[in-house]
Structure 1
């Protein structure tokens, strides 16, 4: 299903008019190279574990949504995505919303929960960033090399088609630009009033546990951390059972 937000088309994973309004709706926010399809069956596993509505969408520029309408991002790009998310929630008349965000999607979830506390009942993040670390930049440089020397580009083309080059450049050129080293969203954290579950792989190649510590310490709502040993940047793929079980337990405590 497609909807129009502002002037561009956004692809949704489902038809929300068929949702049971008595149940919570978990909105999945993909990472910087992600899409609806790259979540694979994970949202369905969550839905089956707690009997809720699940919805994911391709942000502008990704997957089957319209291409980017800009050629360069600024330091506010994740805030802008949080604003788009709020419009999407209003457009679809979603209630009892819980956000599950991976990487960039996790940062968007944090900002959205801070800016729109009445819209969001809880958040789960995986590998979210609130500031730039040298590990983040090193991970992106390694990904850039893999994109140039391995089959990574062709794998991404299966999901982003002719938008693939722009998807990758938007991510790498933004984060590796000298001015982006000062990017920081910790100022949003005190505004987060809802409960949050902050997940990170112990071996996350794009950030350290300092990201989790900052979020846990600075949010106003009740925050709990899940650090998973021997797991990298994508716990929902690398340790799906643990993430599903912990997420279900967390959501059940919200009593929505």
Structure 2
């Protein structure tokens, strides 16, 4: 989910700019699951993208209105602390990736499609093989956290573990109310201009996300039963002041995934990496170090 207050911060550049390195593009050929796609991505701590590297990989999955540039420098800083190489990318419809056509509506199971089809296709295109995937840490925020959970459940042997920040596993009234408010802000304030700094087609990004979350059919969306398939280490993080979700989200994860570890952050809203970076980074560092 977006953080309107953060999105409105004037420190962002006029156009999407890399926090480290430059954006590149992966071409995903059309398949039975998706049309041909052009995906924006960046390597972090990667001396040569095409070179096999024994350093484990951290893969970052952005929020509902995120993109490569919306992460700013947090993935880079976390990778440096953890001694990992990193990969950030913009999902279709976001950043500089293939935009959503105006008439296209995301389906109710769009996050499952991202985890099941798009992410593995991107990993294939970038030459990230099975050995590297088994050592890959998947780190997701908000919708990206849900996609990380789905990937961990669908491909339980194709990752080292997952970290999810403010994930959604079912739809809460609080989420829908906040998303409706964000739509009003987008259409009546300068939020659209602020988000346009991070998306080549800002309406593609915003309405793709907003329309599906406000679709009455989406109220029935839930991935709770899928979680039991998660086998690898899992850390779930939630802020006490999140206006897009409650502690019920990660408590539900713990009920379905007994080995999951939970972190509940005080004085933290929906974006832990912006609201509480120090305790967040400490929690992630301790969690990953314990698995090595």
Question: Which TM-score band (shorter chain)?
Answer: over 0.9
- 1:89-108 matches, cutoff 5 A: 89-94=123-128, 95=132, 96-108=135-147
> How many aligned residue pairs are there?
253
1:97–1:122 Cα contact (<8 Å) kept:
yes
Paired with 1:165 and 1:155, the residues of 2 have a C-alpha distance of: 12
- Of 259, 264, 267, the residue aligned with 1:230 is 267
Choose between structure 1 and 2: higher helix proportion.
1
Deviation for aligned residue 1:150: 1.7
**CA 1:228–1:19 in structure 2 vs 1: closer, same or farther (change >3 Å)?**
farther
Give the alignment of 1:81-96 within 5 angstroms.
81-82=114-115, 83-94=117-128, 95=132, 96=135
Match runs of 1:57-206 below 5 Å? 57-69=89-101, 71-82=104-115, 83-94=117-128, 95=132, 96-161=135-200, 163-206=201-244
TM-score normalised according to structure 2 size:
0.83
Q: Compute the RMSD of aligned alpha carbons.
A: 1.5
Find the counterpart in structure 1 of residue 75 from structure 2: 43
**Uncovered stretches (5+) of structure 1, i.e. residues with no partner:** none
Is the Cα contact below 8 Å between 2:26 and 2:126 reproduced in 1? no
Q: Structure 1, residues 48-97: CA drift from partner, whole Å, max 9, x if none?
A: 11111111001111101111256111111001100211222233233111
C-alpha offsets along residues 23-61 of structure 1, whole Å, 9 cap, x if unaligned? 210000001100011111101111111111111001111
C-alpha contact (below 8 Å) 1:20/1:53 kept by paired residues: no
Check the 8 A contact 1:19/1:53 in 2, yes or no: no
Give the match's secondary structure for 1:17. coil
Give me the whole-angstrom Cα distance separating, in 1, the residues matched to 2:218 and 2:58.
Answer: 31
| Secondary structure class of the residue paired with 2:198 | helix
Shift of 1:242: 1.2
TM-score, structure 1 normalization: 0.94
8 A contact 1:26–1:100 mirrored in 2? yes
Give the alignment of 1:212-251 within 5 angstroms.
212-219=250-257, 222-251=259-288
The SS at the match of 2:231 is coil
> How far has the Cα of 1:18 moved from its partner?
5.6
